[in-house]
Amino acid sequence: MYEDKDEIQVMQGDLKRALGKARPQWAMVIDLRRCTGCSACTAACFAEQKSPPGIMYRVVYEEEFGSFPKVRRRFTPRLCNQCDDPPCVKACPNKGDGKATWKDKDSVVVINYMQCIGCGKCVVACPYKARALDGGAFYTAGTPKIEEYEKAPSWEYGRKWPRRENEIPIGTARKCHFCVHRLKVGMLPACVTTCPCRANFFGDMEDPQSLVHKWIKENKERIKVLASVRTPGETRPSRAALKGMRAHEISQLVGYPGKVPVFAESAPTKPRVFYVMP
């Protein structure tokens, strides 16, 4: 609760106000003091985006510190950080407004599936392991038939994307996009509305009335960002080595979707996802 109101109710009002602006500057704050590691956000994201095998827009990392009997655990949700200086965009050979990937006017890093060539360079460039190539897998592959629910379309970027073999977005890079298709119709991101602990705060960070702005201000001594995400044994394949690699091979090499979050006061990528540390 925030000032005797459910945080979702407050943020819904913030969203309505932000949509009246020409260029709302979306951001998210995740309060790790509230996160219990239930992974409801992950489940909501899978359901909303119809994520296929090998694609995880939002994951929750689990870490354990100390030794018995003084042991504590930390749960860290990770999504695309919607960086203001995104290395994934820099690495793309077809970057730019309306091309394969760019930073849009509302501060979201987006992907145009119709323009993405599936080279995998952005996957390697992302320090947060937030991108992966869609290899075209189905959960029910190898059974008597591909179930109909796996063919249900997603509505990413406000467009209908049926799940069919060898059809886009299969073969393209995929990642979280703050549920822009929901934002456009006045709905908060699925992960935000599903969290039972109200650990996620979303809105226009430049709006001083918004809860996300207030949460950053009220917790400024505890705010950090992700500097990177690591996975034991990960490697960084060269651009030449990427040629001919399958989607799952690239993901395995870079350590997608990551294991260990590394926090810092700031990061060169200028992320728009902030964390309130325990």
Residue 155: predicted pLDDT: 96
Residue-averaged pLDDT of the chain: 97
Is 3.60.10.10 the CATH number for 7-276? Answer: no
Any idea where the domains of the chain sit in the sequence? 7-276
Read off the pLDDT of residues 97-115 as tens digits, 9 standing for 90 and up. 999 999 999 999 999 999 9
Read off the pLDDT of residues 46-75 as tens digits, 9 standing for 90 and up. 999 999 999 999 999 999 999 999 999 999
Chain mean position to CA 257: 11
pTM metric for this prediction: 0.96
Question: Strand 223-230 vs strand 260-264: parallel, antiparallel, or unpaired?
Answer: antiparallel
* DSSP secondary structure letters along 40-104: HHHHHHHHHHTPPTT--SSEEEEEEEEETTEEEEEEEEE-----SS-HHHHH-TT-STTSSEEE-
